[in-house]
Structure 1
Amino acid sequence: MAPTDGETQGVKPQLGAADLLAGVPGLSDLDVTLRFTDVSKKPGASLSVDDIAALAQMIAQREQNGASGFVVTQGTDTIEETAYLLDLLHAGQAPVIVTGAMRHPSIPGADGPANLLAAVQTAASRASRGMGCLVVFSDQIHAARFVRKEHTTAPGAFASPHAGPIGFIAEGAPRLLLTPSPQQHVPLPLLGPARVVLITAALGDDGELLQGLGDRFDGVVIAAFGAGHVPETWVEPLEKIAEQIPVVFASRTGAGSTARNTYGFAGSERDLLRRGLIAAGDLDPYKARLLLLAHLRAGTDRNGITAAFA
């Protein structure tokens, strides 16, 4: 048997929306009218904030024209980020469901068709209205603000370690168990460019990467230890940067909230807050970066940014 292109050259995005829908058994049995659009065939790793903002504007326009729900398929590398950004930018009542596939169509056990069917079922459900952006994988429904990709290749790669899934698919219907608190949206269009850098704290790091950040970027997010801690040698550089641009600290652990009043040593959360940094709360570093970036691009001032994280 001759090797396939996927075996010789690696898998590349090739299938359009019509191809994906044609491969989903049971889709034609649903009482829904489907319309599809190919927006981009970029790999998930190459998507940009502007791509997602343009998609959010397209969704808003089509909701005004009568569409009642949306399904977005993309590569899984950045789903936890694109879904959260869509959740920030989408102010409508129509649900936006993001899904994809961990196993591409040329290998046994491809999960794309089942995920797409579940996503359409969720988008078509009245129970999903007003829920913002959701991620559907392996018959689980996740809120965009909590979901993370936790495995490189497993079909069940997506989970919400901080809160758990908010629902699941059973007998072809979404069962929503929890309703996330309403999202505070960032208005479209995003007005201007901004750059936000993400720096991860690591054992023994001397903080050299912090030098000059205030002159080169518009915002900084620190993926901090534990509940929001950094090495003592980072404290003064971070304080100086925070005098120039917003500096947010989030926990690098992936679950749980940053603290505010527990520890008091140099580099602790109390120390960082006192020096003008902003706590990310429940957001992981990747989503904290997107929240900061979206507000900077929307022209939000420092007080507004602090309130957004609060």
Structure 2
Amino acid sequence: MTASPALPRIDYFAFGGTIASVRGNDDGAVPTLTAQDIADSVDGLDQVAEVRAHQLLLTPSPEITIADLVRLRNAIADSVADGAVGAVVTQGTDSIEETAFVMDLLWSGEEPIVYTGAMRNPSLPGADGPANLLSAVQVAASAQAVGTGVTVCLGDEIHAARYVHKSHTSSPSTFVSPGLGPIGWVSEGRPVVPLRPSSRSGVDVPDDVAVSPVALIRLGLDDDGRILGTLADLGYHGVVIEAFGGGHVPVAALPAVAELAAAMPVVLASRTGSGEVLTQTYRFAGSEIELLELGLIRAGALDGLKARLLLMLCLAAGQDTDAIAETFAAVSSTSGPIRA
């Protein structure tokens, strides 16, 4: 008799979140289930891969920190060195678009890292966590996912971490990638990844990362930007401004923007949620040309949430303003996909 081929090893790291939450007697759901509890509840998981479960945290996802993600990166690196061919991470969906993006910047390996979670907790009818975990393991164990960096897989859709966005508070189909769509999907247990990153770029930060506070400010109609003048005194080391359209601010906010740009790195992002910050289309007071001439750093296609995290990592890596601008340009220009 021919021996069955050994299953690939996937290491599963859990942070808590809805996928791990159950309701009490008369109260709301809280993270309670461990990684092993969740893995044991998924029918067919042991037929896809040898899954080794690791519990890193048991918490709602807004509590996850960059230091936690550096610890996760190191744990995955140790697992890969020990024979794992990929990793799956579960957590609350509230911050997956941010944590997966940070991990994509921190992870330089070819081995895939797949984030997933649940929109319906195990106490509810139609809980989606088990199916999402099974799909994520199928993706992480697939040769098609090698070299794709970090992805997010829910509802059998595979999204690139650099583009994915949570678009709805409660819908199971909440995750979208504006302007791109998913890079792949899972059909009958078979991952398909027809779009892949053309290249990848990240930030090298030390294990004992010291994170500097970075503010995220969205400007609105008739906004004079007075809040910007308070940020230095509050201890912020950098700022991301979510501006109108292609990168525009009200004239009344210009003095505060200019003063801030002279004091710390200021990144210019768009509040629209898709498309790139312009570079040379408009020259009026408050336009992108004038703001870039003031020294603001262009976020490219990154939204404000992700631009803030990239700036935090740049500061943690000790980069000056010129180096930060180079990093933003590199990340923005290498995050585009190509067809395989």
Amino acid at match of 2:189: G
Q: How does 1:58-207 map to 2 (within 5 A)?
A: 58-189=75-206, 191-207=209-225
Question: Are 2:245 and 2:271, in contact at CA under 8 Å, matched by a contact in 1?
Answer: yes
Aligned-residue identity in percent: 48
For residues 21 and 34 of structure 1, what CA distance do their matches in structure 2 show?
A: 8
Q: Is 1:16 the equivalent of 2:34?
A: yes
Query: Does 236-245 or 5-14 show the bigger shift?
Result: 5-14
1:18-37 alignment to 2 at 5 Å?
Answer: 18-30=36-48, 32-37=49-54
> How far has the Cα of 1:29 moved from its partner?
2.1
C-alpha distance after superposition, 1:8-34 (max 9, x if no partner): 22111111111111221221222x211
Where 2:245 maps in the other structure, the secondary structure is coil
Q: Which stretch of the first structure deviates more once superposed, 55-64 or 160-169?
A: 55-64
Of 222, 247, 250, 2:266 maps to: 247
Structure 2 counterpart of 1:232: 251
- On the 8 A contact 1:6/1:106 being kept in 2, the answer is no
* Whole-Å separation in 2 of the counterparts to 1:103 and 1:193: 33
1:6, CA displacement in angstroms?
A: 4.5
User: For 2:226 and 2:322, how far apart are their aligned partners in 1?
Assistant: 29
Shift of 1:79: 0.3
User: Which 5+ residue runs of structure 1 have no aligned equivalent?
Assistant: none
Amino acid at match of 1:12: V
Once the two structures are TM-superposed, the CA of residue 292 in structure 1 deviates from its matched residue by: 0.5
Structure 1 runs (4+) deviating above 6 angstroms are: none
- What is the identity, as a one-letter code, of the residue corresponding to 2:188? E
State how far apart, in whole Å, the 1-side matches of 2:211 and 2:191 are.
Answer: 38
**1:213 shift after superposition:** 2.1
Partner Cα separation in structure 2 for residue 295 and residue 188 of structure 1: 8
Whether the 8 Å contact between 1:57 and 1:188 is mirrored in structure 2 is no
Superposed CA deviations along residues 181-216 of structure 1, whole A, max 9, x for unmatched, are 322121132543311000011112221211132342
Equivalent position SS for 1:260:
coil
Give the partner amino acid of 1:193: V
Aligned length: 306
Distance 1:265 1:232 in 2: 9
Any conservation in 2 of the 1:63–1:92 contact (CA below 8 Å)? Answer: no
After superposing the two structures, state which structure 1 stretch, 190-199 or 113-122, moved more.
190-199
Structure having the higher strand fraction is 2
1:299 to 298, 315, 318: 318
Is the Cα contact below 8 Å between 1:232 and 1:266 reproduced in 2? yes
Q: Using the alignment, how far apart are the partners of 1:8 and 1:49 within structure 2?
A: 34
